[in-house]
A and B are shown apart, each in its own frame.
Chain A
Amino acid sequence: MDNTTSPEKRAFYQKLGEIAGTENVLAGEKATAPYIVDGITPQAITCPASTEQVADIIKAANKSRTTLVPWGSGSRQQIGPCLEAADTVLCLKNMNQVVELDASNYTVQVQAGMVNAELQKQLAEKSLFFPLDPLYLETSTIGGEIAANANGPRRIMYGTVRDLVLGVTVVTPTGDIVHTGGKTMKNVAGIDLCRMYIGSWGTLGVIAEAVLRLFPLPEVSTGLYITFPSADDAFRMVGQLLNSPLTPSAIELVDSVAGHKMAKAIGSGLNDSEVLLIINSEGVKDDVARHRKDIASLAQANRAKGTIALEDEKASRAWKLYRDIHQTMLAGSPPAFQGKASVPVSKLGDMLQQVKKISATQGVEIGMTAQCGSGILYTYLVDDTDKLGRITSELKQAAASLGGFFLIESAPLAFRKETDILPLRDDYQLMRRLKTEFDPKNILNPGRLAGGLY
C-alpha cells in the first residue's frame, strides 16, 4: 500500500482486516513477494478462515472494484493467459480442515485449502484414499486442483477431477454462497454447476469446500517399469493394453531426455531413442497378479528390453522421482517451457515423433512425458528461449493436424504475454458471456480466461 492507493481501496483493506482479522491481512514487499503472479506484485494477502468470511471479502471487493486472486498454495498460478490485474490475493490456506469424513459412504467433505498430500495422510488412517494424483500433489490444495482441473496418472483407472468431485460450495464473484452437487454419486438435480466450476481457473467463483469421492486403499499396488528400444514399440504395447479388459491404474511414458535421471535411480538405463513405460496396477491381490502377468507378456511381445517391478515403498519413491521430472525442469532459471498436447489416444505415438522432429530441426532438446491412456503428452524445453515462438507454433500445428490441441502451461513471462496460450475453439464467445454474467465487474482473476477475451 502506498500513497497512490485510492480511498476506496484503503477502505477495502481496512474492511479486510475487520472480516478476517488484521493478523490475517499481510502487506509489504516481504509478505507479498511469494505471491507475485504473472509479474504482478499484489498489494495485499488475506487468509480468511471460513466460507462466510470469503463471501464478505468478495462483497467488499465488488463494492470497491478490487481484483482478487484466489490462491491455494500457488502450485499452478501460471495456468492460462496472463492476469491483467492482481490486487489482493485471497489465500485459503487457513481453510484446510476435513469437514466431514463419511467412510461408510466413501465421501469426504473438505475445505478448499486442504493440501492433497495431507488429506491422503488422514484418509490412509481409515484405509481410504482420494485417487487424484497431479504432479505437485505434495503442495497443491484440493480447491486449486479443482479450479485447475489438475489430473495425474491415476486418471486412467479412477477418472478425472470431473468424475471425482461430487459437489462444491462456491462463493460467486458477487459474494453469494452457492451449493452445487451433493454427497451422492447419482445427482441430476438442476443445472450441473459443479462441473462448471471444475477447471474454471478461479474466474467464476472461489471454491470454498468440496465433496470428494473416495476409494478403499488398494490392497496391493505394483509398478512395472519397462524399457523399450523405441517409442513405437511402447505405443504398440499400449494399444494392445488399452484394447484388453485389463484396468491399469497408470500408463505413463518417459523419454530419454526427460527421464534419464529417474531411470538411473530406479536401476534401468535409458539410452537415446529408448523410452520408459510405467504401468501401475492396484487393487485386490489376485487382480494385480493377473495384471502383472499379462502386462509382462505384452511387454515381451513388443520387444521390451527389460522390466523392473516395484512395490510399496520403492514404488512410492519411484513416483516421487517421476513427479520430480516436472518439478526440476520447471524450477530452473530462466523457467523452462512446458506445454501439453492432447491428441487422440491412437495418435500419441505420432505426436511424440513430431516433437522429436521439431526438436531435431530446431536444434533444441525437448523432454517428454505422456499419459498414454488419455492422449496427453507433456513437452519440456530445457534450453534457450529464442526459438520458443517458432517451436510453439510448430507444436500447435502438429497437435492440430492429429486432431488435438496444444496448450502452453508454463513459460517465461514475456513469452506468455505475447503468445496465444489457449487453442482455437468456437465456444469462447459463450464462455465470455458466462464470465460476464457471473462476474460483471471482472474482479476474479481478470484476464485469466483468455487475454483480450474480456
Chain B
Amino acid sequence: MPTVAEELEEVLKLCNKCGLCLPGCPIYRVTGIEWASARGRVALLRSALLDKRLGLNDLDDPIYNCLTCNGCIEHCPPGVPTGEIIFRARQELLRQRGDSWLQRLLFQKLLPDPELLHRASKLLRLADVTGLRILARKTGLTRLIGDAGKAEAMVPRVPASEGLETVKRMVKKIDKPKHHVAYFVGCYAPNFAPEKAAATIRVLNKNQAEVTVPDFACCGLPAAGYGDTEAARDLARKNIAIASKMKFDAIVTPCASCSSFLKDYTKLLADDPEWAEKAREFAGKVKDISEFLVDIGLNTEMGELKRKVTFHDPCHLAHYQKIKDQPRIILKSIPGVEFAEMAEADMCCGAAGSYAFKNYDLSQKVLERKMGNVARTGSDTLISSCPACIMQLTRGVSQQKLPVSVLEIVELLDEAYRNARGNEGP
C-alpha cells in the first residue's frame, strides 16, 4: 500500500511556485495570507509529507479552511490538483485520528437513509415551530457550539413535508414524453424546500421530460469532503444499485454539488472491480439541470419576466464540471430578462457545504466579497444552481439588506413558463 506521501509526491512536486493560483483562491483574496492559497497549502503539504519538516497534524488550518472550490486549478499552468490533494490529506488525518460519533451518525446513519434524514429534519422543525431555535439563537446558546452555532442561521426554517414522499407525489405523467429522466432529488429539497423540487419537476415536464423519483440516498459529497471516503463509496454503491433497476435517458439534478459528485463515481469506484463498470455507466448518465436542458434544446415558450438577473457560478458547476455557458444561455433566453455578468461570478460564495460551520469568519468574509460584486451589478435577481450556494447567498443578501431575490435557476424558469400565455399552471 503506497503511503500518502508516495501517492502525492508527483503532484506535490508539480508546483513551481509561480503564484498564478493566488487570485483564484477566495480565502487568499480575503486574508492576504500565503498559506491560505493553493501555492501555500501545497508547499506546506510538501514540507510535511516529503521534507518531513513538520507534521500533518500541525496543518489543520491550511487543510480544513480550504474551500475545495478548485478555483485555483484553472489558473495553474502545470495543473496541480489542489482540491484532490486537500481531500487526500483530510482522508489521511481522519485515518490517523479516527471517526467521531457525529461523523458516524451523519455519514453512516443519516445521509444513507433518506427516511431517517427526514425524521431528523422533523426534529429541527420542532425546534422551529416551538420557537426553541430562535430562542437558542437569541439567548446566545447557539454560540456554545462555536462556529457551527454562528452558521446555524444559514439553515432555513424547516417546512412541513413528508420528505421524499412529498416529492414523489408531485410526479405526473405527461403527454408524449420525449425524454425519461430519473430526478436525483438530494438531501436538501425534500426536507427544507419541497417547492423547489416541485419547480424542477414542472420545468422538466415543460421540456417534454417525464420524471421518476427513485429512492436515491445522499450522493456522498459531505462524507468525502470530510475525509470519509469509505462512507462515500457505500453511498455510491447504494445509489448505483438503485439506478440499475430502472430505465432512463439521464439522471438529472438541479444541485451542482450532487451532479459533480455523482459524475465522480467513476473515479471513486475505479479500484472496485465489481462496481467500476457500473459506476462509469451511472456517471455517464448524470446531467446537471442546465446541462440537460441546453442539450435537449430548451423549450423557449415562456412568458416575459421583467428582471435584471445576475448569476453566481456554483464551484461544483464551473470549476468541477466546467459548466459555465449553459446557465447563461438559459437565463438569456428568458424574454424580458436583462442579464448582467457580475465580476468574479465564478468565485466561491463561501458556503462550501458545511464549511461555514467550522470556519464562520472566513465564510463571512468571502460572502461579503460576493455580495459586493452582486450589488455592483444593480440586479434585482440573483440566480444560482446549488442549495448550499442559495442558502449562503440568501443570508448574504439579507445581511447586506440588498433588494435582491435569490432563486434557483429552475425556479426562474418555472416562473417564466407559468407566465406564458395559455398556461394553466400546475
The reply, when asked whether chain A contacts chain B directly with Cβ atoms under 8 A, is no
Which B positions have Cβ atoms within 8 angstroms of A?
Answer: none
